[in-house]
Structure 1
Amino acid sequence: MISALNRLVDLVEEQLREEFDIEELARTLGTTEYHLRRMFSSLAGMPLSEYVRRRRMTVAAAEVVRGESDLLSIAVGYGYGSTEAFGRAFRAVHGASPGDVRRDGGPLRTQPQLRFRLTIEGSTPMDTRIIEHPAFRLLGHAARVPLIHRGINPHIQQHIGALPEQEHARLRALSDTEPAGLLQVCDDIDPDGTEGSELTYLHGVAVTNGTQTPVDLDTIEVDAGTWAVFRTEGPHPEVLQTTWAATATDWLPSNPWRLRRGPSIVAVLERADDFSTATCELWLPVEPAR
């Protein structure tokens, strides 16, 4: 996986002035565009699209400062149809317009070329199991919410808080397969993992396909497949979020699995009354890395 990410970085440099086919690259590297984007954003700390924009504007800034070409020629050379569009992208990265930078020589904010390296320390063992699960269905109450990487998501908190206590009890009674109990489900996640992008959050339970679905509940159909299940215990949600991040930075690069499309599921096994601590299982859909 690390070599695939570095090849992706090399391709960005080779084609800074043009669009490149990440799907085809992923195929030649024996992985998927979805997994490649998810791993890039997790390890780089930014979406691939943002990295490409920063690199383009870093290289373009040198041409702006040199003054050998007019701004429209530079804009068109980097795929922008007008100096206005180029200027907006330039200002978003450097905090100044191309004209100001050409006149004053700055300010400039450089995005260095990334290089991925894997360091395995092994100081924090991850309690993991791999299971095969038949197709099942998720039932519950869904909402579109923004992605927030750290801390409590107030939009999710508000969504759950609006449900009456008897509704939680009704959902628990419907659960008849793993993952057991009330679940926190994230689906339709942006592969780039962009903070603020929308995802579908479902508060509900897992049921077998033969279970009758109440008409007032939202449903997510889940295909049969392999799941990596990570057990966490401690302060909530900090330990869960740290483990979630470590699946990308530590576990996936050093194990023969890759992410596949599907919902991410958190099952809360035990928790304190105030939810300050919890024991959870994080279910991630995976497939063998080829």
Structure 2
Amino acid sequence: MLERLNHAMDYIEERLDQQIEVAELARIAVTSEYHFRRLFSALAGLPLSEYIRRRRLTVAGAQVLAGEGTLLDVAVRYGYGSAEAFARAFRAVHGVGPGEARRTGAALYSQPRMSFRLIVEGSSSMRYRIVEKGEFQVVGRKVRVPLVHEGMNPAIVALIRSMDQETVRRMESLSDQEPRGIVNVADRVADGREEGTEFDYYHAVVTNAAAPDDMESLLVPEGTWAVFECSGPVPQALQYLWRDVFTQWFPSNPYRSRPGPEISLTRLSEDPAEAGAELWIPVERTTG
């Protein structure tokens, strides 16, 4: 898988001055566009679109400093329709406009070309199972929240604290299948998973029961799920588990992620800062 990803990176590099289609990158990597975007973001630490933008402006910056053509020539070469649009993007990355950079020989930001390799540590194993589930509903309270990569999400904490015990009890009574009990559900997450982008968060249960009038529901089609287990500090253990699933498990197993909500649950121990956790990721088996 990583070898195919590196072929896709070569394709990007060869076409920085041309239109780059994500569908073609996914074809080279022998995966879906959805999974390619998510895998790239997990491995690279930034969204695919942002990486391409930074690489283009890195190469464009070198050509600006070298005096290769007019600034408009460079702008058009890298996909900008006007010198003004190019100047705005250039300043956002380099902190200085292209005209000033050319006049003064300013120091510019450089986004290195990326390649991927798998480091095998062998010091720990990842526990997982594959589950086939029929259609079900997520039923509970919903809020639109910003994505937080590390630490508590204040918007989620506020939602949970706003719920009275009677509402929680009624919700728990609806749970009739795995994963059982109150779960955390993330839906409509941006493919690049940029911090600060918003997604739908449900504090809810998985059920086939109808949703009460004061709760919202999300219908989830039947499909395959990879279920991962971990334990550790809350919420870091679960956040790190998601990272490890995409950077270690997916490149080494014949599955890819598919569109759908991600479901997690935690079980607190005697130490309130520690918990056991499960992460449910919608997947499909790869053919290549």
Q: Same fold (TM over 0.5)?
A: yes
2:236 aligned partner: 238
Q: CA RMSD in A?
A: 1.4
8 Å Cα contact 2:7/2:28 also seen in 1: no
1:50-89 matches, within 5 Å, as 50-89=50-89
Q: Which runs of no fewer than 5 residues in structure 2 stay unpaired?
A: none
After TM superposition, the score normalised by the length of structure 1 is: 0.95
8 Å Cα contact 1:95/1:107 also seen in 2: no
Shift of 1:241: 1.2
1:289 aligned partner: 286
1:93 aligned partner: 93
Q: Distance in 1 between matches of 2:107 and 2:272?
A: 46
Q: Which amino acid aligns with 1:287?
A: E
2:227 aligned partner: 229
Secondary structure in 2 aligned to 1:42?
Answer: helix
Please point out which of 250, 253, 256 is paired with 2:254.
256
Shift of 1:189: 0.8
Shift of 1:213: 2.3
**Deviation string for 1:53-89 (max 9, x for gaps)?**
1100110011111223111121111111111211111
8 Å Cα contact 1:96/1:107 also seen in 2: no
Q: Distance in 1 between matches of 2:219 and 2:117?
A: 37
2:197 aligned partner: 197
Q: Distance in 1 between matches of 2:133 and 2:263?
A: 13
Structure 1's 26 and 68: CA in aligned 2 closer, same or farther, altered over 3 A? closer
8 Å Cα contact 1:132/1:225 also seen in 2: yes
Secondary structure in 1 aligned to 2:90?
Answer: helix
1:213 aligned partner: 211
Q: Distance in 1 between matches of 2:259 and 2:120?
A: 26
8 Å Cα contact 1:184/1:266 also seen in 2: yes
2:140 aligned partner: 140
Please point out which of 272, 276, 283 is paired with 2:273.
276
Q: Percent identity?
A: 48
Q: Which amino acid aligns with 1:278?
A: A
Shift of 1:274: 7.7
User: Is 1:180 the equivalent of 2:180?
Assistant: yes
**Deviation string for 1:84-141 (max 9, x for gaps)?**
2111111121111111210121211111111111122121211111111111110011
Deviating runs (4+, > 3 A) in structure 1? 272-275
Q: Distance in 1 between matches of 2:160 and 2:23?
A: 37
Q: Distance in 1 between matches of 2:269 and 2:179?
A: 20
**Deviation string for 1:237-285 (max 9, x for gaps)?**
11111111100111111111111111110122x2147841111111111
8 Å Cα contact 2:8/2:28 also seen in 1: no
Secondary structure in 2 aligned to 1:6?
Answer: helix
Secondary structure in 2 aligned to 1:179?
Answer: coil
